[in-house]
Amino acid sequence: MSSIPLHQPESTVDWNLPNKSRVGMTALIVGESALFTIFVVAYVFYLGKSLTGPKPSDVLEVPILGTICLLSSSLTIWRAERAIKNDRMASFTAWLGATIALAVTFLIGTALEWRKLIYHDGLTIGTNLFGTTFYSLVGLHATHVVVGLFLLSAVFLFSLFGWIDSRQSERFGVVALYWHFVDVVWIVVFSVVYLIGR
Amino acid sequence: MSEYSLPAREAVDSALSETTRGTFLESLHAWVVTVDHKRLGILYILYSTFFLLVAGTEALLIRLQLAYPHNQVLSAQVYNRFFTMHGTTMVFLVGMPFLFGFANYIVPLQIGTRDMAFPRLNAFSFWLTAFGGFLLYYSFLGGGGLYGVGNAPDVGWFAYAPLTARSFSPGHATDYWALALIVSGFGTLGTAVNIIATIVSMRCKGMTLMRMPLFAWLLLIVSMLTLVTITPLTAAQFMLLIDRYLGGHFFDTQAGGSSLIWIHFFWIFGHPEVYVLVLPAFAIANEIIPVFCRKAIFGYPAMVAASVAIMFVSLGVWAHHMFTVGMTSVSNAFFTLSTMLVGVPTGIKIFNWIATLWGGRIRFTTPMLFCIGFLFQFLIAGLTGIMLSVSPWDWQLHNSYFVIAHFHYVLVGAIVFCIFAAIYFWYPKATGKLMDETLGKWHFWLFTIGFHITFDTMHFLGLLGMPRSIYTYQPDRGWNFLNLVVSIGGLIQGIAVLIFAYNFIRSYSRGKIAGDDPWDAWTLEWTTSSPPPVYNFEEIPEVHSRRPLWDLKHPDDPDWEYEA
């Protein structure tokens, strides 16, 4: 400095700012929530407004198994987070594998449900307003599950090859944050589509 | 400026920042692959300057067509494409990239860090935005698909349903509109995430939130608002594409769908978007006005609080665009009152700027002139906004030139004026050269005179009943003279912008050497060299007040002794 201040106040302050990746992911989640809100609003707005059948109560079955799988995957990924933080890598790989398996089960459930709706009940995205809003909303959520699955699978491969350890626990925490968000969104979608809308 | 203060420190060894010039291809490659926030900021600004000229040309052609009744310069169809493209371009390819460009360049320097939080995401966001822009303009060639000679979107920048349905808008023009904005919307989302993470997590030591420059504060607020603003538009555009390509029925009135819900979704995006654009303009004024009246900003905490208030209130006013759609009296009353409520924090800001000017030693440089123009015009824009918020008044004037005049007072009179101010203010930082003051004053006065000739007159055209979006009019309506005046004003603004463009290019090689701190300013970006080195600061600074450079210049009278 070309000029030295006469005195410096509070020269030794603690300076801790939040982790930037966590902040970034939180911001992304806020944006994504707005995106989902619009689709949920459209779904609720169009409830019962279809001019032709089938109606939700005719064809929808509550996907209990899929929901249990997806919600419990939040628990397994939380265990994986704790494992990587304490550098128990074998346990981390196992819990992460379990998370992936649960997510895949959920997606298979959705696929079977859609297969039944399309081939058995004849409900497509163009059939009526229910079809349009249902496939858009559930499909948007499923897309997010698929994206999360890609992220988790990448981390899973890394851990199989032994490329990560507890130093990456903060980064894995960011992936887990996204996964928890996907789960919370499912609670909303599930309530709106299968409980309120049916 | 040595009469005011001690010289600022040279932050770097100048030998280090000298780079050897490579061949043209090498430097082009370096600009394409760059992840440096300063280069990306410059890319954003050049990109939006380019589209400013393009959309400005479209506006001039529109005005040429409307200068005389029964004019034949543009056909009705081309006219529709031009006002659609003018609006879409100005909002998405000019307004937002300009402001994000300034955010990219200035925010990391102001908060004392070496780059944005996610440099590669930053580059990715810019190229997504750029791709979106060029995709939109490719529609002039490819919009007609395989049949037809090509056409651009012609559904208005708000693209109301059911006009956008496949049966009413065949070809691909509307798809270009939706896809281009989805792509650039993802870019915008990425930049917003990046700015938030940068400001929250990358501030230098000692820069608490209440010591942050107001520019950074407002950009933080804007980015948070962007997160919940741009995504509803993306969602609605997904729905539109589902309707157009997968046979969905979201906005298909024949199958029970509602065109009203598109209008809601669009304005849930569209109104906060106005604040996404205008808050950075406030941010620019917050930096420039204090520097040129030699006083610290008046009422810093009130400015922050007012900005946060605007962010929240602006989310609840969208349906004031829809009074003529036919809502219940309760909705009309609610949205009238909430719209008036926005005037309160905005008024607080205007009073704070005036109080900052009060008793200051004002230097009327070009950036300051633009800021004073902004203050005056934004006040009028706010007042006509209050008029339009009264729903019966809006029923009378909705979709007339009064509304056009009102929102151009905001978008041009406030935002474009602040963008010009910011370019004159930070150009020396980015290039090391000052822009020419004489040409700058010509630019300011011509632009201001042209602006008022155009947009003051437009209010009267609106009161006389001229509706928007018409490509021509009957000679016996009494609009002829005023329309000619409006068009002449547009031409004067066009000349002013050409002077600006000439000054912008010429100053790069011929401008006076600026030095590190040409305006005797107080924020951290002026402590480093002009242009700053890639790493910004040799050592990360530590700050103790809102005006760290003042503290360095005046060690005998530092700010921290007065700030709470």
Residues B450-504: pLDDT tens digits?
999 999 999 999 999 999 999 999 999 999 999 999 999 999 999 999 999 999 9
Q: Name the closest residue on chain B to residue A131, using Cα atoms.
A: B248
Q: Name the closest residue on chain A to residue B264, using Cα atoms.
A: A38
Question: Any bridge partners for residue B513, and if so which?
Answer: B433
> What is the rounded distance in angstroms from the CA atom of residue B242 to the CA atom of residue B238?
6
Q: How far is CA B369 from the centre of its chain?
A: 18
Asked if the Cβ–Cβ distance from B206 to A15 is below 8 Å, we say yes
Taking CA atoms, B69 is separated from B62, B63, B64, B373, B475, in Å, by 13, 11, 11, 32, 5
Domain-located, residue A9: no
Q: Which of B37, B193, B211, B540 to mutate to test the interface with A (most CBs of A within 10 A)?
A: B193
Asked if the Cβ–Cβ distance from B196 to A13 is below 8 Å, we say no
- CB under 8 Å to B182, separation ≥6 — which residues? B132, B234, B237, B238, B241
Can you say whether the dihedral through the CA atoms of B206, B208, B212, B216 is positive or negative? positive
Instruction: Considering only the beta carbons, identify the residue of B196, B232, B249 that sits closest to A38.
Output: B232
DSSP state of B390: S
> What is the rounded distance in angstroms from the CA atom of residue B52 to the CA atom of residue B89?
8
Question: Any bridge partners for residue B542, and if so which?
Answer: B205
Domain-located, residue A1: no
Asked if the Cβ–Cβ distance from B231 to A15 is below 8 Å, we say no
Instruction: Considering only the beta carbons, identify the residue of A3, A19, A51 that sits closest to B256.
Output: A51
Asked if the Cβ–Cβ distance from B227 to A45 is below 8 Å, we say no
Question: For A107-148, what is each residue's pLDDT tens digit?
Answer: 999 999 999 999 999 999 999 999 999 999 999 999 999 999
- Cβ–Cβ < 8 Å for A23, B200: yes
Arithmetic mean of pLDDT, A166-192? 95
The verdict on whether omega for the bond into residue B170 sits within 30 degrees of 0, i.e. cis, is no
- CB under 8 Å to B25, separation ≥6 — which residues? none
Asked if the Cβ–Cβ distance from B205 to A50 is below 8 Å, we say no
Asked if the Cβ–Cβ distance from B231 to A31 is below 8 Å, we say yes
| Degrees, nearest 5: CA angle B431-B184-A25 | 90
Instruction: Considering only the beta carbons, identify the residue of B227, B242, B258 that sits closest to A136.
Output: B242
| Alpha helix stretches (DSSP H) within B8-154 | 14-17, 24-32, 37-66, 76-88, 96-110, 119-142
Per residue, the 3-state secondary structure of B109-144, as one string, reads HHCCCCCCCCHHHHHHHHHHHHHHHHHHHHHHHHCC
How many of the other CB atoms lie within 10 Å of CB of B325? Answer: 14
Q: Enter the pTM of the model.
A: 0.93
Secondary element (H or E) of residue A196? none
> Mutual orientation of helices B173-201 and B76-88 as an angle, nearest 10°?
10
Q: Is B433 helix (H, G, I), strand (E, B) or coil?
A: strand
Q: Could you tell me which of A71, A70, A62 has the C-alpha nearest to residue A196? A: A62
DSSP secondary structure letters along B238-276: HHHHHHHHH---TT-GGGT--HHHHHHHHHHHHHHHHHH
pLDDT band at residue A198 under the 50/70/90 scheme: confident
Residue B433 has phi, psi (to 5 degrees) of -120, 145
Q: Name the closest residue on chain A to residue B204, using Cα atoms.
A: A15
Split into its structural domains, chain A has a count of 1
Token representation of residue B174 = 């509307």
A34 chain-B contacts, CB cut-off 8 A: 227-229, 231-232, 235
Q: Is A5 on the interface with B (CB under 8 A)?
A: yes
The confidence score (pLDDT) of residue B393 equals 92
Q: Minimal Cα–Cα distance from B82 to chain A, Å?
A: 30
> Which chain A residues in 89-108 lie under 8 Å from chain B, judged by CB atoms?
none
Token representation of residue B48 = 């939006």
DSSP state of B555: T
Domain-located, residue A14: no
Residue B499 has phi, psi (to 5 degrees) of -60, -45
Q: Is A10 on the interface with B (CB under 8 A)?
A: yes
Asked if the Cβ–Cβ distance from A3 to B9 is below 8 Å, we say yes
Token representation of residue B80 = 């529709």
**How many inter-chain contacts (A to B, CB under 8 Å) are there?**
141
Residue B167 has phi, psi (to 5 degrees) of -70, -25
The confidence score (pLDDT) of residue B1 equals 37
> What is the rounded distance in angstroms from the CA atom of residue A156 to the CA atom of residue A7?
53
Taking CA atoms, B296 is separated from A15, B286, B356, B373, in Å, by 26, 10, 7, 20
B121 chain-A contacts, CB cut-off 8 A: 24
Arithmetic mean of pLDDT, A3-30? 78
A33 chain-B contacts, CB cut-off 8 A: 228
The confidence score (pLDDT) of residue B3 equals 39
B268 chain-A contacts, CB cut-off 8 A: 38
Q: Is A2 on the interface with B (CB under 8 A)?
A: yes
Instruction: Considering only the beta carbons, identify the residue of B9, B248, B544 that sits closest to A8.
Output: B544
Cα atoms found within 13 Å of the Cα of residue A10, Cβ hemisphere only: 13
Q: Minimal Cα–Cα distance from B101 to chain A, Å?
A: 19
Question: Any bridge partners for residue B433, and if so which?
Answer: B513
Instruction: Considering only the beta carbons, identify the residue of A3, A18, A133 that sits closest to B201.
Output: A18
Q: Name the closest residue on chain A to residue B553, using Cα atoms.
A: A3
Asked if the Cβ–Cβ distance from B560 to A9 is below 8 Å, we say yes
Asked if the Cβ–Cβ distance from B261 to A42 is below 8 Å, we say yes
A137 chain-B contacts, CB cut-off 8 A: none
Asked if the Cβ–Cβ distance from A45 to B6 is below 8 Å, we say no
Instruction: Considering only the beta carbons, identify the residue of B200, B268, B552 that sits closest to A23.
Output: B200
B223 chain-A contacts, CB cut-off 8 A: 27
Domain-located, residue A79: yes
The confidence score (pLDDT) of residue B144 equals 66
Instruction: Considering only the beta carbons, identify the residue of B239, B246, B551 that sits closest to A42.
Output: B239
The residue written with tokens 């020269």 in the block is A11
CATH superfamily of B38-561: Cytochrome c oxidase-like, subunit I domain (1.20.210.10)
- What residue type is B406 in one-letter code? H
| Degrees, nearest 5: CA angle B40-B42-B43 | 60
Token representation of residue B189 = 């989302």
Report mean pLDDT in 10-residue bins for chain B, 564 residues.
Answer: 40 47 86 95 96 95 95 91 95 94 96 95 96 93 63 90 89 91 96 96 93 96 96 96 94 92 95 95 96 94 96 94 91 94 95 95 96 96 94 93 96 96 96 95 97 96 94 93 96 96 94 93 93 92 91 88 75
- Cβ–Cβ < 8 Å for B22, B30: yes
Q: Could you tell me which of B154, B169, B176 has the C-alpha nearest to residue B78? A: B154
DSSP state of B415: I
> What is the rounded distance in angstroms from the CA atom of residue A146 to the CA atom of residue A163?
23
> Mutual orientation of helices B214-246 and B300-314 as an angle, nearest 10°?
10
Asked if the Cβ–Cβ distance from B196 to A23 is below 8 Å, we say yes
Domain-located, residue A6: no
Q: Name the closest residue on chain B to residue A48, using Cα atoms.
A: B256
Q: Which of A12, A35, A44, A49 to mutate to test the interface with B (most CBs of B within 10 A)?
A: A35
Q: Could you tell me which of A70, A71, A94 has the C-alpha nearest to residue A82? A: A94
How many of the other CB atoms lie within 10 Å of CB of B392? Answer: 9
- What residue type is B326 in one-letter code? G
Could you state, in order of their start, the residue ranges of all structural domains in chain B?
A: 38-561
The CA dihedral of B198, B204, B205, B207, to the nearest 10 degrees, is: -80
**CATH code where residue A66 lies:** 1.20.120.80
Domain-located, residue A131: yes
Q: Could you tell me which of B193, B265, B201, B209 has the C-alpha nearest to residue B235? A: B265
Q: Is A114 on the interface with B (CB under 8 A)?
A: no
DSSP state of B296: P
The confidence score (pLDDT) of residue B7 equals 41
Q: Is the ipTM beyond the 0.90 threshold? A: yes
> What is the rounded distance in angstroms from the CA atom of residue A55 to the CA atom of residue A48?
8
Q: In which domain, by residue range, is A125 found?
A: 20-196
- Burial code (b: 16+ CB inside 10 Å, e: under 16) for A126-135 equals bbbbbbbbbb
Q: Could you tell me which of A116, A119, A126, A115 has the C-alpha nearest to residue A50? A: A126
Q: Is A190 on the interface with B (CB under 8 A)?
A: no
Instruction: Considering only the beta carbons, identify the residue of B205, B228, B236 that sits closest to A31.
Output: B228
Token representation of residue B36 = 């440096």
Q: Say if residue B134 is exposed, middle or buried (CB neighbours under 10 Å; 0-12, 13-18, 19+).
A: middle
Q: Is B94 helix (H, G, I), strand (E, B) or coil?
A: helix
DSSP state of A119: I
> What is the rounded distance in angstroms from the CA atom of residue B158 to the CA atom of residue B149?
25
Percentages helix, strand, coil for chain B (3-state, rounded to 5) are 70, 0, 30
> What is the rounded distance in angstroms from the CA atom of residue A1 to the CA atom of residue A4?
6
Asked if the Cβ–Cβ distance from A20 to B197 is below 8 Å, we say yes
